[in-house]
Each structure stands twice: as C-alpha cells, then as structure tokens.
Amino acid sequence: MRVYADGELLRTIPITTGKPGFTTRSGVKVIMEKFDSKRMNSETVGIPAGSAEGYDIDNVQWAMRVTYSGEFIHAAPWSVGSQGHANVSHGCTGLSTEDAAWL
C-alpha cells in the first residue's frame, strides 16, 4: 500500500487484503474515521456468527474506516507473515501494528 499526503509518497507498507470470496476494493481510499481500538464482528458485514468464516475480535487496534459498508484498514498482527505476500483477510486491509500506529 502506498500512502500519500498532498501528492507526496510518504511510505510503502506491506499489507494483506481480501482472500478469494472476500474481495477488497482497489484504488484510492480516504480514511473517514479513526479508532484506537474497535470490535470487529463478522455479522456487521453479513457473515453469520458461528459460520466457518465468522469472527468476533475485540480490541482490534488502529482501525480506520474507509467505507460505510464496513471496510477498514487496521492492525492485523495475526497476519504479519502474509502481509506483502498473500491475501488472507475478510475484505479489510491488514497491516502490522507498528505500520497501523504510524498511519
């Protein structure tokens, strides 16, 4: 992910995005809201609790909303090994805790 401010490239960050079946929108994104910590629950994006893809994670750090439909950029320490190499999320953009704190 390339991060720009006023047209200047500030940083390139390794990320993971949506795995097959959970496509992440591509293109330019604007951060609409920022949260130090946010609960992420699959039911809010139409994935039933208890299903194989269901999740309910409390205290997801540095969550930044990019759509009203539930797409976020956030710290995903559980996927650091995949960041920059494979897409393993449910549609959000995951990055290291350090990179998310910077952003």
Of 64, 76, 92, 95, which residue is the catalytic one? 92
Residue 83: which of 16, 24, 22 has the closest Cα? 16
Is residue 92 among the annotated active site residues? yes
Catalytic residue among 17, 24, 63, 74: 74
Residue 48 neighbours by CB under 8 Å, 6+ apart: 42, 54
85 is catalytic: no
To which residue do tokens 């951060």 refer? 31
Task: Please tell me the distance from the alpha carbon of residue 80 to that of residue 74, in angstroms, as a whole number.
Answer: 12
Catalytic residues: 74, 92
